[in-house]
A and B are shown apart, each in its own frame.
Chain A
Amino acid sequence: MSIFKFHYNLEKNSVGFVVAIILAASVGGLVEIAPLFTIDDTVETLPDMRVYTPLELAGRNIYIREGCYACHSQMIRTLRDEVERYGPYSLAAESQYDHPMLWGSKRTGPDIARLGGKYSDDWHEAHLIYPRAVVPTSIMPAYPWLATTPLDVEGLGAHLAVLAQLGVPYTDDMIANASRDATAQARPDSDAATGLVDRYGEATTIRRFTDAREVTEMDAVIAYLQILGQLTQAPYAAEVPQ
C-alpha cells in the first residue's frame, strides 16, 4: 500500500518525522482551543460582574499556595443533584478574571463555588484553624498558621498591574491604592473603607477583623471564601435545567 510506502521513506528522515509529528499533533488544539478566544458567546456578558479586591486576591493566592484546590472544586456542573446540593451551576463568566482558573478535579471536600455567605467569618476561622473542632469527622487539614502569619499587603499593586496587563479591568486608581484597600477591607471603621467601596462597589463585604491586630493571612482567605459565587448575582436568576 502506498501509505506504508510513504511511511517507509519517512522513517529514514528524522527531521521530516519530527515535522510530521508537529503537524499531526497541532490539529486538535487548533480546532478546539482557538475558537474559544474568538467566539463571543463562549463567555457570557454579565453587567454586575466585579473584580476581586486586593484582599480577596491575596486570599486567593494563599488558597493556591496551600493547595486547597487539590480537594475542592469550584465548578458546579449542569446536573440536577449538583445544582440541588451546591446551588446554580457555574457560568463561564464567573471565572473570567481567574488567572489561573480553580475549577479543580477532585472533591475530597465539597464544591465551594457558591460558598460565599454560607457560614460566618468566625465559623471559617475556627474551621481553618482546626476543622475537627467544627466537623468532628472531617479529614480536612488544619491551617493554624494562617491566623498568626501577617499578610504581606505591600506588593499588591504590582499584582493588580500584572492582571490588568492580562486583561482584568483593574483601573489605575485600583492599582495605586491596592495596599491601602487591602488593609481597609479588614478595617471597616477606618476612613479608607469608603475608598474601597467606591472602587469595588457596594456589594464589597467588609466585616469582622475589627480588632486592632494586624491583618493576617486568615483574614485574606476568609475574605476570598466569602466572595465565592458572589462576584455576580446573575447565576441566581438563571433557569435551572435538569
Chain B
Amino acid sequence: MIAILTPRERQIGMAMAIGLALLGLTMAALGGHDPIAVHGFMALALGLALVFAVGSVLEEPAPNPARLQQYYDDPIKVGIVLAMIWGVFAMTIGLWVAALMVWPDATFGQAWSSYGRLRPVHTTGVIFAFGGNALIATSFHVMQRTCRARLADQLSPWFVLIGYNLFLVWAVTGYFMGVTQSKEYAEPEWYADIWLVIVWVTYLVLYLRTLKRRAEPHIYVANWYYLAFIVVVAMLHIVNAAAIPVSWTGAKSYPAFSGVQDAMVQWWYGHNAVAFFMTSGFLGMLYYYLPMRAQRPIFSYRLSIISFWGITFFYLWVGSHHLHYTALPTWVQNLGMTFSIMLLVPSWASAGNALATLNGAWHRVRDDATLRFMFIAAVFYGLSTFEGSFLAIRPVNALSHYTDWTVGHVHSGALGWLAMVTFGAFYSVIPQIWGRTAMYSPKLVEWHFWLALAGLLTYVFSLWNAGITQGLMWRAYNSAGTLNYSFIESMEAMRPYYIARVLGGALFLAGICVGAVNIWLTIRGARDAAPDRPLSPQAAE
C-alpha cells in the first residue's frame, strides 16, 4: 500500500511520521503525571509505527505511473475497515451503558468503567468514530466517482484518515481517564480540538483540489452535502471549542463561554452536529448510493436544490429548542421553535426525493437487502425529522425534555437513519472497490438487515414509552393538588423499558457483527472483475 506512493511522497510521509513522534515525545515528556502524557505516548507510538512502515519501503523503486489512470481506493478501504471496528466497539459500549441502567453494579468497580465515563465513549464512538470514518471513506469514493477524477494526491488522504483516528483515540481514551470538557458531542480537550482543526482543514483542501480535477462541469448533489458537512462542522467546532488551558502541559481547560451564552453556543453546536455531521454528510451518502443501487436517477434535481439550501440555512437557527423554558431569553426559544417547524419542509423534501427515486424500483427494494437498508434509512430520516420538529414545539417539549423520549428520538435517527444508510452504502461500495461482483454472502446481508430492523424497533418503541411515561409521571397531580409521584417512583417505572432497550441494543449489535464477518469474508475472498465507472483520462498530478 505504501509502495504505491512516489519516493518523494514517501519522504514527506517519513518526515511527517517523525514529526508526529516528536510531538508525542514532547507531550509525554512535559506532561508528567497528567493524562496528556499518556496521549503523548500514544502519538509517539503511532509516529514510530509509521516511521517503520514507511521506512521499510522508502528505497523501493518508484511506482508504475499507470496507477494515476485509476481511482485511488486504498484510503477508502482502510476507512471502511476502521469504521466497522469502531462501530462494533462503540455499540458494545452502548450495550454496556444500557445494561448499567438496569444493573448499575455491572462495572469493574473502577473509575474508568463507570457510567459517566462510558457514555461519551459510546456517543463519540458511534457518531464520530463509526459515522466519521464512514463519511470520510465514502466521501473519498463519491468525490472520485462523481468527478471521474483520482484523488488530488496520495498523501493527504492518509493524513486525514490517520490524523482523524488519532483524534478519536485521544478522545475515547481521554474519557476513560476522566479527560472531558463535558460539552455534549464536543467533549475532547483543547489539544485534541486543535489537532482536529488541522486534520479538518486538510480534508477540505483535499476535497476542493479533487473537485477541481473533475471531468464533469457540474458538481454532483452528493458533493454539496459532503461539502456542507465539512465546512459547517469546521465552523461549529472552532467556535464551540474556544477554551483556555490551565497549563500548556496539562489536559484541563476552561471553556471560553459561561452560563446562558455557553448553553446557547453549545446547543447551536450540538444540534448542528446532528444536522451537519449526522444528517448532511449522510445525505451525501444517500444521494449517491441510493440512485446507484436502485439504478434510477434522482427523482428531482430542483427538489435537491431546495432541500439542500433549506437545510443549510434553517438548521443553524434551531439549536435553542434544546433550551425551552430555561433561563435563555424567550425570544431565542421562540425563534428556535419556529425554524424547527419550518425545517420539516426541506427535510421531507429530501426524504421524499429519495423515496420517489425508488419509484419503479420497488422490486429491487424487495429483493435486495442493501437497497432496503437505504430505503429504511430514508423512511426513518423522514420519521425522525418529523418527530424532531414535533418535539421542538414548546408544550410538547415541556413533556419530553429531560426524559428518555429524547434518547428514543436520537436513536430513531441514529440507528434508523445514520447506521442504516451507512450499512447500505458499505454493502454497495465494498464489492466495487475490492473488485468483487457481490458481497461474500447476500444471505448474511439479509440477516443483518432483519436483526438491525428488529433491534431498531425494539429500541425506539421501548424508549418512546419510557419517555412519555416519565414525563407524565413527573407532572401528575393527585386530588389534593400535590405531585403524585416521587422521582424515585418514576425511576423505578423505567426498569422494564430499560430491559427492553438492552434487548434491542443486543439485536442491533448482533446485526453489525454479522455485517463485520460478512465484510471480512468478502475482503478475504477471491478477486473477480467488477464494473466500475471509468476514470476520465487525465494528466498526472
Contacts and interface: CB of A to CB of B under 8 A. Distances in A.
A105 B406 contact: yes
B120 interface: yes
19 contacts: A12-B218, A14-B211, A25-B228, A33-B265, A36-B260, A67-B117, A71-B115, A77-B325, A77-B326, A92-B260, A95-B259, A100-B255, A101-B262, A108-B101, A139-B104, A139-B491, A141-B104, A142-B104, A162-B246
Given A21-B312, A95-B260, A85 B483 contact: yes
Given A84-B483, A99-B255, A106-B406, A145 B110 contact: yes
Nearest to B265: A33
- Chain A, interface size category, equals 35 or more
B335 interface: yes
Given A85-B487, A159-B246, A100 B258 contact: yes
Interface in B196-228: 204, 208, 211-212, 217-219, 224, 227-228
B339 A66 contact: no
A143 B117 CA distance: 12
Contacts of A163: 254
A75 B104 CA distance: 25
A11 B487 contact: no
A171 interface: no
Contact of B261 (A7, A36, A81): A36
Contacts of B260: 36, 42-43, 92, 95-96, 101
B102 A139 contact: yes
Interface in B106-152: 107, 109-111, 114-117, 119-120
B264 A32 contact: yes
Given A27-B316, A67-B115, A91 B327 contact: yes
Interface string A79-95: 10110110001111111
A107 interface: yes
A64 B182 contact: yes
Given A65-B179, A100-B266, A104-B402, 5 more contacts: A14-B208, A33-B261, A98-B258, A103-B326, A105-B184
Contact of B402 (A18, A73, A101, A166): A73
Contact of B180 (A64, A84, A94, A103): A64
The winner among B114, B259, B261, B477 for most chain A CB atoms within 10 A is B259
A224 interface: no
Interface of B: 100-102, 104-105, 107, 109-111, 114-117, 119-120, 175, 178-184, 204, 208, 211-212, 217-219, 224, 227-228, 231-232, 235, 239, 244-247, 250, 252-266, 268, 302, 305, 309, 312-320, 322-329, 332, 335-336, 339, 398, 401-404, 406-407, 474-475, 477, 482-483, 487-488, 491-492
A21 B235 CA distance: 11
Contacts of A97: 258-259
Interface of A: 4, 7-8, 11-12, 14-15, 17-18, 21-22, 24-29, 31-33, 36-37, 39, 42-43, 61, 64-71, 73, 75, 77-79, 81-82, 84-85, 89-111, 131-132, 135, 137-145, 155, 158-159, 162-163, 165-168
A142 B183 CA distance: 23
Given A4-B302, A69-B182, A108-B101, A43 B254 contact: no
A37 B261 contact: yes
Given A95-B258, A138-B104, A22 B115 contact: no
Given A18-B208, A18-B227, A105-B322, A85 B313 contact: no
Given A7-B305, A141-B116, A22 B235 contact: yes
B244 A165 contact: yes
A86 to B, nearest CB: 9
Given A81-B475, A139-B104, A36 B332 contact: yes
B246 to A, nearest CB: 5
A55 to B, nearest CB: 16
A163 B120 CA distance: 25
